[in-house]
Amino acid sequence: MSNDNTLVLGATGKTGRRVVARLRLRGTPVRPASRSGQVPFDWSDPSGWDAALTGVDAVYLVAPQVPGPAPDFVARAEAAGVRRLVLLSGRAADDWGDSGFGLDMLSAEEAVRGSALEWTVLRSNNFQQNFDEELWHAPLVAGELALPADAVPEPFTDVEDVADTAVRVLAEPGKHAGRIYELSGPRAITFAEAVGMISSASGLPMTYRTISPAEYTRNLVDDGVDEDVAHHVSAMFVMMERGPLATTTDGIDTVLGRPPRPFEEYVVRAAAAGAWSGR
Ligand SMILES: NC(=O)c1ccc[n+]([C@@H]2O[C@H](COP(=O)([O-])OP(=O)(O)OC[C@H]3O[C@@H](n4cnc5c(N)ncnc54)[C@H](OP(=O)(O)O)[C@@H]3O)[C@@H](O)[C@H]2O)c1
């Protein structure tokens, strides 16, 4: 089997499916993998990993949601002859301190950065698409987003920029070896400002309200989110209020040679596609 395949984990997710589409368009042989993806891959079932890794040159790695499996996966990738790893991680991972947030991504970073393979880490701010493809979508459709975030702003990153960056790194072997890129949007805005823009562009009434981390955790659990996951998401907001994610970075410009896409562009695109109106 030829050794030019790119294995994309999390291939049905927000970044993975965009990475897959871009690689296909470039003519790069790609293996889209996840539990429900074209190539079966389950973090909780290591017996299937070797088949996914056979004949693979590079891996786009979306971390498992628990700290355990990444080191074993990276060791198996090395043994299978993989040469390069591009890991998606979270912005300012060095500054999360003892917040308890991101142990999954920190464990994956440790495994990737400690490996003998050529590696690159992409650390992104919260995605702009969290407002229409993730946890913040349903509350917005219902008319109110309530989060434990107040005046500390965030330069949300467009997932399209994350995918562009990942694909550029995958297409340029050697150039990004051992680099950690912090990927932010071009301007930090508060959640209240973000919701204001979404409400304006979509023509729908939406409000933003600041609540306590404890109230947020309770709301998530009431909405059916697993209790551990709810605590983890709340811990992220507590960490964010200290400010480590609030500044802009030049990571996207450094890799792509152009500025990141602004939040306004995302909002217009998503509103026109009916993201918040159920069209
Ligand atoms: N959201 C943000 O703002 C943000 C910002 C920075 C970093 N991150 C990090 O980005 C990662 C998530 O990436 P994403 O947003 O592109 O993905 P996503 O939209 O959250 O989708 C998750 C992907 O992982 C797959 N998956 C879930 N459980 C799995 C399992 N047990 N085994 C194998 N695959 C599994 C899912 O597909 P199947 O269901 O088919 O398995 C799906 O393709 C997380 O590590 C998160 O911490 C997120």
The answer as to whether 50 is a domain residue is yes
Is pLDDT larger for residue 241 or for residue 37? 241
Q: Is the pLDDT of residue 146 over 50?
A: yes
The answer as to whether 201 is a domain residue is no
- The DSSP bridge partners found for residue 189 are 154
The Cα 219–Cα 33 span in angstroms is: 32
Nearest-CA residue for ligand 1 atom 36 is 10
The answer as to whether 213 is a domain residue is no
- Residue 68's domain comprises 5-126+157-184+245-260
User: Ligand 1, closest atom to CA 89?
Assistant: 7
Q: Is 87 in contact with 112 (CB distance < 8 Å)?
A: yes
Which residues are CB-neighbours of 124 under 8 A, at least 6 positions away? 88, 89, 90, 91, 157, 162, 183, 184
Mean pLDDT in residue range 1-18: 88
Residue 156, SS3? coil
Give the model's pLDDT for residue 69. Answer: 96
Number of domains making up the chain: 1
| Pocket lining for ligand 1, CB < 6 angstroms | 10-16, 34-37, 41-44, 62-63, 88, 90, 105, 124, 126-127, 130, 134
Pocket test for ligand 1, best of 7, 88, 135, 232 (most atoms within 8 A of CB): 88
Nearest-CA residue for ligand 1 atom 21 is 13
Give this prediction's pTM.
0.97
Residue 257, CA distances (Å) to 126, 188, 233, 250 in order: 22, 20, 33, 10
Mean pLDDT in residue range 8-36: 97
Pocket test for ligand 1, best of 8, 34, 72, 87 (most atoms within 8 A of CB): 34
pLDDT digits 0-9 by tens, 165-209: 999 999 999 999 999 999 999 999 999 999 999 999 999 999 999
Give the model's pLDDT for residue 279. Answer: 47
The answer as to whether 152 is a domain residue is no
Mean pLDDT in residue range 143-155: 97
The answer as to whether 149 is a domain residue is no
Cα(64) to ligand 1 centroid in Å equals 7
The answer as to whether 117 is a domain residue is yes
Question: Locate tokens 């997710």: which residue?
Answer: 13
| Closest by Cα among 170, 198, 174 to 26 | 170
CATH of the domain at 42: 3.40.50.720
For the four alpha carbons of 268, 207, 131 and 278, in that order, the dihedral sign comes to negative
The answer as to whether 275 is a domain residue is no
Q: Is the pLDDT of residue 1 over 50?
A: no
Give the model's pLDDT for residue 278. Answer: 64
The answer as to whether 18 is a domain residue is yes
